Structure 1
Amino acid sequence: MAPRIKKAERRPSVSYLTDTLPSVLPPIFEQAQNTTANHRKNIVQLFKVQRTCAEVTEETEKGIRLVGERAFNALFISMINRVLPVKKGVAVADRVVKFVASYVAYTTEQDTTEEEDGDSMSQRFVAKLVRHLLAGTEAKDNSVRFRVTLMLASLINGLGEIDDDQYVALRQGLLDRARDKESAVRVQAALGLAKLQAGENIDDLEEGEESIAEVILDLLRHDSAAEVRRAALYNLPRTKDILPVILTRTRDIDPVLRRTVYHGSLGSASLPDARVLTIAQREEAVRNGLGDREPSVRKAAAGMIAGWFDQAECDLLQFLNRFDVVSSEVAEEALLSLFVTRPETLESIDFPDEWWIKLSPEKAFLARVFAEHCLSLKDESRLEDAMPVVTALAFRIQDQYNELVSVAGNNEDPQEKAFIVGELLRLVLTFDYADETGRRKMFAMSREMIAMPDLPEALIPRCLDVLQKISTSERDLIRLIVDVVTELREGDGDVEDPESTGRSSAVGAARPVPEEQNAAVIDLRCLNICIGLLERVNTPLQENSVFHGLLPDLIIPAVRTKTEPALRDQGLVCLGLCCMIDEKMASQSFGLFIQQLTAADDELKVKVVQIIFDLFMVHDIPTLLAGIIEPHRIVELVRHMVLQDAPVVQAAAIEGVAKLMLTGMIEDAAVLQTLVMLYFSPDTADNQPLRQCLTYFLPVYCYSSSANQARMLSIFSDTLMHVSTFAEDFEGSPDLLPLAQMGLMMVDWIDPEKAVYVGAQHLSADDSGSHNDHGLHLDLAIELLKLLLTETARDIRKAVTGYFSKLSLPEEGQADAWKTKAAFTLAQSVKNKRPLSEAAPRKALDKFQATLLKQYPELEGYDEDTFRAEGDENEATAELWGFIDDV
């Protein structure tokens, strides 16, 4: 049998490019856009087509022309061009982008045959595609810029090795799109840059040129769009240098981003050991997370804390070592969060006898928090089973205190020992003192400790808390403390100079000090004890004559001293606390506190301001002011305190005024206007305590009653005119809000739909069940229209017209018919007498007038002459027309 001869395979001709290729490529893309399930099959088929096209060449005098490749590339790009104008969110276009990215990766992997110059089919194809897409990054159409940036970011991982020129062009194109005006484009640019980051060599950058990492960090810190900041966060490495920037995002305005920081960036998967963060950074993360207003963020933060516990091998003491419990502000919150998320941890806690032998700050802290948590859960049985009896614990406290004294005597740092003693004293507050032996031991020990002149100041309140719990009455407690103070002042012996170690440290090696200074130190200690006592009792001083001796002997001399500022300051605080529980003493001493508003330094002024406002809250104001100033001049006094130069004093005064106004003790509109002006003034931008107080107070004050909203309405026009001058006084200040925004905030505060209580002056027998004065924004509309008639400033008129769309006008049956006519008349008068020159304000006024006609059908028959004639009988109508005629 003769052998069969294999036919040579025929190379495709140029006709394949014109006849077959146009009918093969479009169906592939059409299938790819419908579902991703067929992408793999179509990628293989498309690669075969590309291979076939690559075989079609032409020989010319200059060499071989790759006509097949060019035809394939041109038709491929033509298919892509149909997708580029499609807006974001269209699924068919997204599938095509994914298909293209997958194909680029596949053809780069498959085409390993290199030509003589090292240039391959895939490299030529990819280079052509990238050049085309980069050209589209400058397109005017937002959708085109989005699609090309999305496609570039998607195919980067599949490019393989690219030459330097292509890398530079791609990098620059994405850097430009990172500053695009469209946030969706910036998102894709951030994703693409993150993929390029690994190939960047910092040494190759020119001087002053930003690295990709710096650009992404800048997007995370400063981009206005939350989705861009999220994209940047997702693609940042968790390096030690970048973690501080990531931590700042725990205060981001976007809750999703805040949650992502805790769940992703700071989670155990991304951060295997939390100790790469400093203690301060850990505390910041816990404080911001557990204090977040969003439940989802708090939950993510709790998950992060649980992850730290796992990293500590589920050992509570190792977990607490992640914090500096001695000075930590959030270690307790973190531990309580762990008790909630890992309840089995609480179940496993036990305190055997050996636990108490060698106490560390973490051990004492854990025992105290555990006891307080059990008490909050009303789980007294668990607490009783876990803790030793009172008597045993009293001996432990005595031992720890002896160690504290020993450490201080050896000039060692006593802070840790003082903390342990303090935690144990807080722990015993959770105990039941039914055991008389334990009660007596604890009482005697606490009494002995507070009488020691070298007891650290931080432990004075702790001893007082124990004595208060054990004492049978406030009178017994006062008698006890008076005895302690008397002993201290009459006792002998040197004490340490507080300047040598600071007030709050334990006594070190004693050294002789002058007798007067020694007496001042003792008196300062006694005043601190008296302050702690007065903060814990409410019994009037008339019922505790035993305390009266301390006033002329200790407190008054301290207030009058001129040589010991610290003594004077504490004396004033002590006197203020005495006045809080004794109205007669308060009225006698009030003039002294007023005097200190001008005589004292800023630190003392803060305390004086707090005392004054506390006395206003507790006692009858006319009684306090009798013989000093007229009661009606309290507003002047309040404004004087609010307008203090020192920021800390001003912030304390603002807090006091806010309390008085929220309780209705001050209802003056001038004071309210002062607060609003301070809130908007750039001068107070750096005074965060003041700003935070007013940020809370102003909306709460207004929403709490319609009467308060009416008061805000009464100052609206005048305040708006005042804040409009800020543009001249603070020109160029970054802290100056736009006039439109300031006015909108006031409009919102007056919104009747947000009021929760209606003032008495707005109630009638028929509407006693209503919850707000629905006509407030109609009243505001009249004020706004009057402003348009009287004001000529362009910025004010433009801002005012922008408020009309934010008004919550009352329903037809709730509106005052006269007010609707007045508003309509004023709107028409603005058009006739003071027409608006710009299109947008005119449109806003027309829309508001149309709203009036639609919402209040009675205005359809409105006649100006008839309404004017009503002025003969209606004084309000006559005043309205008089106002209009005077314009």
Structure 2
Amino acid sequence: MAPTRPSVDYLTETLPSVVPPIFDQAQGTTANHRKNIVQLRKIQEKCAEITEKTPKGEKLVGERAFSTLFIDMVNRILPVKKGVGVADRIVKFVAGYVTYITEQDAEDDTMTSRFVAKLLKHLLAGMEAKDKNVRFRVTLLVASLINGLGEVDDDMYQLLRHCLIERSRDKEAVVRVQAAVGLAKLQSGEDEDDLEEGQEPLSQILLDLLRYDPAVEVRRAAVYNLPTAPETLPHLLARTRDVDPILRRTVFMGSLGAAHLPDARVLSIAQRENVVQNGLGDRDPTVRKAAAAMLGGWLDQADGDVLQLLGRFDVVSSNVAEDALISVLVTRPEVFDNIEMEDAWWASLTPEKAFLARVFTEYCVNNNKTNRLEEVMPVVTALAFKIQDEYNKLVGLSTDEDEDKVTEQAFIVGELLRVAINLDYADEIGRRKMFQLAREMISQGSLPETLIPRCMDVLSKITDGERDLIRLIVDVVTELRVGDGDVETQEPATPSRSTLGSPSRPTRAPAPSDDPEARKREALIDYRCLLICTSLLERVNSPWQDNTVFHGLLHDVIIPAVRNKEELALRDQGLICLGLCCMIDQNMATDTFVLFMQQMNAAGDDDELRGKVMKIVLDLLMVHDIATLVAKTMSVDAVPALLSHMLQQDVPEVLGVAVEGVAKLMLAGMVTDATVLQHLVLLYFHADTADNQPLRQCLSYFLPVYCYSSSENQLRMLEVFPLVFANFAQNEEEEDATPVAQIGLMMVDWLDPHKAVERPGAVVDLNVHLDLAITIFKLIMTEEGRDTRKTLTSYLGKLNLPDSAETDAWRPKAVLALINALKEKQPLSDAVSRNSLSKFQVSLLKLYPELEGYDEETFRAEGAEREDTKELWGFIDDVEEIEEAPEARTRRGSRAPSRSRRTASMSVDPTSDSDAAPVSRNRKPRPETVAEETEDDESEDVEGLLDSD
């Protein structure tokens, strides 16, 4: 018999009782979803058989009843917030059901298509709901349904696209995440050629979410769903520097992994090196591990050949390849064990092979794997002959050859020399051969400058101490100058017997000085000699008095080069040599310090020379006792003025050098002047230094570390706080100026005593923020600008005050006296500031119970006994009472005139007392006037010092 067709009563009596239990089971576990989906489909088909005939046609009452009930079940989870498991399982159930029925019936204008269209329209209507939970659930459902929708008409697609784009701009991050997932699914089927005019491609919207969305969850969703394609790669690579470590790790494991990037060569060499540098240099260990796994995948793509992997980096001019190779040797021990360097391997060296040999050697030495090193590397004699062959090839390359070939061959020789440094020279024959080779090479005028330090390292390893090395180099330099580069090799020194004595006798008379070609040739030889001397001085530390043999070169080569005014390169290198000499000899440094000061002043427009001399001066101040160093040049009290003068350079590169050197001096405690610190703070926040990345990076590390290292440094920063704040508050309206509120917050954080490092023998001063409160109230009472006073008041809530037992009774009383005076004489004009002040006062009274019996007259009477109390009440009494109504107070009308020179707006008075606050608004000195006067005074002192003989 044919099955009985269900009646209309089924929709009202049976259907409401069979559908809800299915959803009830589905919300408990996903294990029964498949069974319930099949059962629900049968119910839908049964309902579809129920129709009603009308004059206009057949009415699908069964389909409508089922769709209405299904949507009612879905509506019940829409207000549920994120993270509720029962609602998440219903979302999976609905998405699975739509996918199942679409696969069963993929035709158009059917029961399935009508049901899906009605459900989707209902969900899209909820995209604009006010409830954020509803918007989240609707967007989640839509994103989950997209893969199972099959084909949709153009109108529905455009509506779906428009709604998801709108939700990608939702104020809630969880909604934007689901919108990004949905857009990524739609993007796979989008053809940009079919877009209407003005429509933005979905790929561009996802890239914008990846680049600009402030929520890390949204950026993660974009990374997870963006394909690895040429147009998206640059943006994905930029996420290797994202602030979120999970996102950085995802890029290395996902987008740059072997599954998504089957061949690393789709990246340029610069991109590969940038990725490896960012990954292996990351501070998070999980990110470094992911980057190492990525490199392992790149090695697999190269069939496990290390040389092929190195060929994908620029081993000649980059240090990233070394980090990559070491990472592979650590994470893939089998690669390290399988490295073999037979005679045939050495027969045809390439830059990659030489690089591998050098890194392998250093890795073995650093990890105590000397047995493995002896198994792989040739003996010293064989390596010396190989270095000689490669160097002969380098010499044989004419100057007309391709410059890249010359560079690569020089790189090979340099890597082999670095290998030679780490070998064992117990074999006397090999030691003699290597010594002879290194000495001959450093004596050759054709030796590239980059190889001079490498030869010096080999000679330093072989010779018997610094004295023998110095005598050897003196001999080589003398032969170069006298013999025009033609030298005769002497018997190499042995550890037990040194043949290095006095310099060789001249074999050729010097060329006439009136011959231009001869003078040019002599200058080139002298320049090479200076390079050799520089390389030597960088590697010796023995006192100057122990190496009198070098004194001849000082007077014959270095000093004449410093005095040379025709060959600028010769003069610059001579100054560097002289500076290195002074580094190891304090007496010479004391005698020569005035020379460097004069050279720094005489550099004129030669910024490169000024930077070099400034490095020398700052290094000498760091190495030697400052009082002894400057004894013959200036007084010790003039050193801060000298450093302040250095910090007023106009050239960014030179200014960066000065800032780095001065920061080191202050961090080491060798300079403690508050004026110098004030210059550094002003430079850090000033808009003119925004593009000077070396300066900003140096100071972003120095300033917090300096303050947190000791309470004395925090008190010094507190001393400069009012002057720094006043400077930027007065110039806040200038273009590109750093907001003064941000500046103050950073300084308040630097002054937090609870962040100071506890060191043995040092006591942390917990009163710094309480002293800062006194300073802030003084500034509020002497400031005219309403916005500035509001900014200062906002800092009160950020102060970390000490407990009552950790401070004396005077400081809380002083703060309370200032609060009362502020309310009486200078009342705040806006409600926000008044609320901040009231909250601070309440917390102050609660924290310090002794303030309950505070009496102003008693506290004022203490002024006769305590100088600080007398000064406080003198300040309060001198502050004028406000006369006009608070609404009439406006921001200070007159602004500091703009300057073309940065130093004028950032100069400060080195003699000013930060505690001597202005006594009234009418008598407060203009900061720009103080700056101009200070700059003139400092300039006169320093210029006179530099001009002195």
Same fold (TM over 0.5): yes
CA offset digits 1:35-86 (Å, max 9, x no partner): 3233223323332333233333333333333333333333333333332222
Q: Give the partner amino acid of 1:132.
A: H
The one-letter amino acid paired with 1:57 is T
Q: Hey, what does 1:815 align to over in structure 2?
A: 807
Give, in angstroms, the shift of residue 222 of structure 1.
1.5
Match status 1:543 vs 2:533: no
Distance 1:874 1:781 in 2: 20
- 2:528 is equivalent to residue 525 of structure 1: yes
User: CA offsets per residue over residues 645-679 of structure 1, 9 Å max, x none?
Assistant: 11111111110001100111110111111111111
What does 1:835-850 align with in structure 2 at a 5 Å threshold?
835-850=827-842
CA root-mean-square deviation = 2.3
Does the alignment pair 1:87 with 2:81?
yes
Q: What residue identity is the alignment partner of 2:785?
A: A
Q: Kindly provide the amino acid, as one letter, of the partner of residue 687 in structure 1.
A: N
CA distance in 2, matches of 1:19, 1:837: 71
- Is 1:805 matched up with 2:797? yes
Aligned to 1:789: 781
1:280-299 mapped onto 2 (5 Å cutoff): 280-299=270-289
* Contact map agreement 2:340 2:376 (CA 8 A) in 1: yes
Question: Aligned partners of 1:312 and 1:325: how far apart in 2?
Answer: 17
Counterpart in the other structure of 1:357: 347
CA contact (8 A) 1:706 1:757 kept: no
Query: Any idea what the Cα deviations from partners look like across 1:280-308, whole Å, max 9, x if unmatched?
Result: 11111111111111111111111111222
1:264 alignment counterpart = 254
Q: What is the identity, as a one-letter code, of the residue corresponding to 1:337?
A: S
1:12 equivalent in structure 2: 7
Is 2:635 the counterpart of 1:630?
yes
Among candidates 50, 65, 75, match of residue 59 of structure 2: 65
What is the CA-CA distance between 1:838 and the residue it aligns to?
A: 3.9
Match of residue 506 from structure 1: none
CA distance in 1, matches of 2:577, 2:678: 34
Q: Is the 8 A contact 2:444 2:485 kept in 1?
A: no
Match of 1:669 in 2: 674
Q: Which moved more, 1:68-77 or 1:241-250?
A: 68-77
Report how far residue 167 of structure 1 moved. Answer: 0.9
Q: Name the structure 1 match of 2:557.
A: 554
Moved more, 555-564 or 522-531: 555-564
* Superposed displacement of residue 462, structure 1: 0.2
Unmatched runs of 5 consecutive residues or more in structure 1: 1-5, 495-511, 759-767
The within-5 A match list for 1:433-582 is 433-492=425-484, 514-582=517-585
Give the aligned partner of residue 490 of structure 2.
none
Compute the displacement of 1:553 (Å). Answer: 2.9
Task: Sort the Cα spacing of 1:789 and 1:48 in 2 relative to 1 into closer, same or farther, 3 A.
Answer: farther
Equivalent in the alignment of 1:765: none
Residues of 1 paired with 2:627 and 2:255: CA distance?
Answer: 58
Q: Is the 8 Å Cα contact of residues 732 and 738 (structure 2) preserved in structure 1?
A: no
Q: 2:245 aligns to what?
A: 255
Further displaced range: 473-482 or 527-536: 473-482
Q: Distance in 2 between the 1:554 and 1:521 partners?
A: 12
From the superposition, tell whether residues 795 and 156 of structure 1 become closer, same or farther in structure 2 (CA, over 3 Å): same
Residue identity matched to 1:700: V
SS at match of 1:137: helix
Give the aligned partner of residue 587 of structure 1: 590
Q: Partners in 1 of 2:206 and 2:24 — Cα distance?
A: 36
1:681 to 680, 683, 686: 686
8 Å contact kept, 1:755–1:771:
no
**1:703 Cα deviation (Å)?**
1.0
The DSSP-based 3-state class of the residue aligned with 2:732 is: helix
For residue 832 of structure 1, report the CA deviation from its aligned partner.
Answer: 4.1
Summarize deviations over 1:756-777 as a string: whole Å, max 9, x none: 146xxxxxxxxx8664111112
CA-to-aligned-CA distance 1:348-394 (integer Å, 9 cap, x gap): 33333333222222222222212211211223333233322212211
- Structure-2 residue corresponding to 1:871: 863
- Does structure 1 retain, via aligned residues, the 8 Å contact 2:591–2:632? no
Q: Deviations over 1:470-524 (max 9, x none)?
A: 1112222122112222222233489xxxxxxxxxxxxxxxxx9933332222222
Q: Does 1:206 align with 2:196?
A: yes
Structure 1 pair 443/227, CA: closer, same or farther in 2 (3 Å)? Answer: same
Distance in 1, Cα, partners of 2:793 & 2:454: 60
| Cα offset, 1:423, TM superposition | 0.9
CA spacing shift, 1:72–1:692, aligned 2, 3 Å? same
CA distance in 2, matches of 1:699, 1:831: 34
Shift of 1:708: 0.5
- Between the aligned partners of 2:349 and 2:319, the Cα distance in structure 1 is 21
Match of 1:750 in 2: 751
Structure with bigger RCO (C-alpha 8 Å, 6+ apart): 2
Tell me how far apart the structure 2 counterparts of residues 17 and 570 of structure 1 sit (CA, whole Å): 98
1:115-152: CA deviations, max 9, x gaps?
xxx41222222222222222222223222222211111
Q: How far is 1:468 from its partner?
A: 1.1
Is residue 422 of structure 1 aligned with residue 405 of structure 2?
no
The one-letter amino acid of 1:709's match is: Q
Looking at structure 2, the residues matched to 34 and 8 of structure 1 have their Cα atoms a distance apart, in angstroms, of: 34
Give the conservation status (yes or no) of the 8 Å contact 1:579–1:615.
yes
Could you tell which deviates more after superposition, 524-533 or 87-96?
87-96
1:562-587 per-residue CA deviation (whole Å, 9 max, x = no partner) reads: 33222222122122212222333323
- Relative distance call for 1:372 and 1:860 in structure 2 (3 A) is same
SS in 2 for 1:64: strand
How far does the alpha carbon of each residue in 1:781-801 deviate from its partner, in whole angstroms, 9 at most, with x for none?
222233333334333333333
Question: How has the CA–CA distance of structure 1 residues 133 and 528 changed in structure 2, closer, same or farther, with 3 Å as cutoff?
Answer: same
Contact 1:681 1:726 in 2 (8 A): no
Matched, 1:641 2:631: no
Closer, same or farther: CA 845–534 of 1 in aligned 2, 3 Å = same
Alignment-mate amino acid for residue 41 of structure 1: K
Relative to the length of structure 1, the TM-score reads: 0.91
Q: Is the 8 A contact 2:610 2:654 kept in 1?
A: yes
1:12, 1:52 within 8 Å by CA — same for their partners in 2? no
Cα displacement (A) at 1:166: 0.9
Match of 2:118 in 1: 128
How many residue pairs align between the two structures? 847
Q: Is the 8 A contact 1:756 1:771 kept in 2?
A: no
Q: 2:155 aligns with which of 165, 176, 188?
A: 165
Q: Deviations over 1:518-571 (max 9, x none)?
A: 222222222111111111112343433332222333223322333322222212
> Does structure 1 residue 318 correspond to structure 2 residue 318?
no
Superposed displacement of residue 259, structure 1: 0.9
1:146-161 equivalence runs, <5 A = 146-161=136-151
The CA distance in 2 between the partners of 1:850 and 1:871, in whole Å, is 26
Distance 1:59 1:513 in 2: 115
Secondary structure, counterpart of 2:58 in structure 1: strand
The answer to whether 1:275 aligns with 2:276 is no
Could you tell me whether the CA contact under 8 Å between 2:572 and 2:609 is conserved in 1? yes
Work out the CA distance in 2 between the residues paired with 1:868 and 1:370.
76
TM-score norm. by structure 2 comes to 0.85
Residue 884 of structure 2: aligned partner = none
CA contact (8 A) 1:259 1:297 kept: yes
Alignment pair present for 1:861 and 2:864: no
- SS, match of residue 699 in structure 1: helix
Query: Equivalences for 1:3-152 in 2 at 5 Å?
Result: 6=1, 9-13=4-8, 15-112=9-106, 118-152=108-142
Match of 1:509 in 2: none
Identical counterparts, % of pairs:
64
1:699 aligns with 2:704: yes
What is the CA deviation profile of residues 401-446 of structure 1, one whole-angstrom value per residue up to 9, with x for unaligned ones? Answer: 1111122467242222211111111111112222222211111110
Letter in 2 for 1:668: D
Task: Work out whether residues 775 and 816 of structure 1, in 8 Å CA contact, stay in contact via their aligned partners in 2.
Answer: no
Partner secondary structure for residue 59 of structure 1: strand
